Amino acid sequence: MLEPCPLCHHPDVSLFSQDKRRDYFQCNHCRLVFVARSQMISLTEEKKIYDSHQNDVNDAGYQQFLSRALNPLLAELDKPSSGLDFGCGPGPALAKMLEEKGHSTALYDIFYYPHQEVLNQQYDFVSCTEVIEHLAKPAEVWQQLLGLLKPQGVLVVMTKLVINQERFKNWHYKNDITHINFFSQETFSYLAKQSDLSLTFYGDDVMLFKKSAMV
């Protein structure tokens, strides 16, 4: 029996693709593509891979990459605002860029900034760049992210999107063994509808969600 979708928990899933290392399934409800949880690596192995990455906060190329998420977010923010860089990694470059633009930005990362107290507040914005594809429990973290937003708060997500089954077979993004969830525009549209969020797509890999005002 196939395991249910880790995002919407729907049992209607089917085999989407396979390679030499892993099996990939697709939820026929929210359209998430995901790796069987039995094929996930351990947290220890995962951290070793992240430790080998070079994420220099002052690297111009890295900042240019992150600007694809930064610029749409800045267009939504009034100064001064406060936010959280969720899953910031060892080199929180986006937080630095936001601070330089006048927006105070707290840090959280399960490995590098495991400060639980920052998860007990609400913010004008939350950034989640190149994080959501790594999550073992995406449904729980999605609800956590929404809970971190004030009314009319903004969530910016950056992750590469699934286009179709054929292109997935040769997609470099799936070859990173720390990537276990693969979202499409359909999946993010499903989440926005379920959570009563407005959603705008920017380019190929940036999604900006906005929470409604309190009634």
pLDDT at residue 27 greater than cutoff 50: yes
pLDDT at 60: 74
- Mean pLDDT, range 25-38, rounded to an integer: 95
Contact between 59 and 28 under an 8 Å Cβ cutoff? The reply is: no
Q: Where are the domains of the chain?
A: 39-211
pLDDT tens for each residue of 48-66: 998 887 666 777 777 888 9
pLDDT tens for each residue of 144-188: 999 999 999 999 999 999 999 999 999 999 999 999 999 999 999
pLDDT tens for each residue of 84-129: 999 999 889 999 999 999 999 999 999 999 999 999 999 999 999 9
- Mean pLDDT, range 80-87, rounded to an integer: 95
pLDDT at 215: 41
Distance, in Å, from the CA atom of 155 to the CA atom of 148, rounded to the nearest integer, reads 9
pLDDT at 24: 97
- Mean pLDDT, range 62-91, rounded to an integer: 92
Distance, in Å, from the CA atom of 89 to the CA atom of 40, rounded to the nearest integer, reads 20
- Domain spanning 39-211, CATH architecture: 3-Layer(aba) Sandwich (3.40)
Angle at 53 between CA 135 and CA 178, to 5 degrees: 25
